[in-house]
Amino acid sequence: MIHPTAIIEDGATLGAGCIVHAHAHITRHCVLGDAVVVHPFAVIGGDPQDLGFDTARASGVTVGARTVLREYVTINRATRPGGVTRVGSDCFLMASSHVAHDGQVGNNVILANAALLAGHVEVGDRAFLGGGAGIHQFCRIGEGAMVSGLSRITRDIAPFIMAAERDEVAGLNVVGLRRRGLPPATMTEIKGAYRDVFASTGNLRVLANKALASGAYPSAEAQTFLGFFAGGKRGFIRPRSDAAASGADAAT
């Protein structure tokens, strides 16, 4: 259903069952999956906020099936020629949240009101970003991570971590892990991997690689957690020194 006052530019592609509410704007650079809902005054596919961008450059935005984009959501198209800013399926972007150019947002992600992703940010599946959280460009937010409202994040957040304040690990997102129905053995592995990485001082990449090589953590989830530290450009958030050893237990 398309409201009469919505703007859908020639060249945009909308899947079956999409709902575009009054005054929403879908540019010609967009591909929306089935049953996407776009609320009033959202602007999807606008030019990137990059002073050096050539507006004649071909790039786009894709939004996965069943994703809901609430009022005043903005998703900018990519800066790279042929590039795509992606938001996955079954996501919920609350009012005034923003996904900047070249962002890559996974499936089942929630951005609460006014959560802001700068350019080239990657967000893993099932992550949750609280209201007003700001994410620096090129950061990675791992699968199943939870970022508290008004956080300022300038470094990568490992999978299944709770983040708060300025680049601070607040423990494991144990509630989120339990809701996934993970077996107790897997939960124990993830907690052990967390301790191996964060309870000691030193280079987190080295500590994670050592834990990975030990063979003590065979589950897919623990491997995902430890493998995350092999990539990225921004470094990683850490716990406060007085909380590092107890973070996994404090989250239970």
From the candidates 90, 102, 156, 196, give the one annotated as an active-site residue: 102
What single string gives the DSSP state of each residue in 120-156? T-EE-TT-EE-TT-EE-TT-EE-TT-EE-TT-EE-SB
Told to judge if 34 belongs to the known catalytic residues of this protein, a careful annotator would answer no
Instruction: Provide φ and ψ at 201, rounded to 5°.
Output: -85, 155
Signed CA dihedral, 103, 105, 111, 113: sign only: positive
CA-nearest of 99, 106, 108, 144 to 123 is 106
Please indicate whether residue 171 is annotated as part of the active site. Answer: no
Q: From its phi and psi, is residue 29 left (phi > 0), alpha (psi between -120 and 50) or beta? A: alpha
What is the C-alpha separation between 11 and 58, in angstroms, rounded?
12
- The catalytic residue among 21, 25, 29, 101 is 101
Contacts of 142 (CB under 8 A, 6+ apart): 124, 127, 156, 157, 158, 159, 160, 161, 224, 225, 228
Q: Which of 119, 130, 142, 171 is catalytic?
A: 119
119 is a catalytic site residue: yes
As given in the structure block, the two tokens for residue 13 are 């592609």
Catalytic (active-site) positions: 101-102, 119
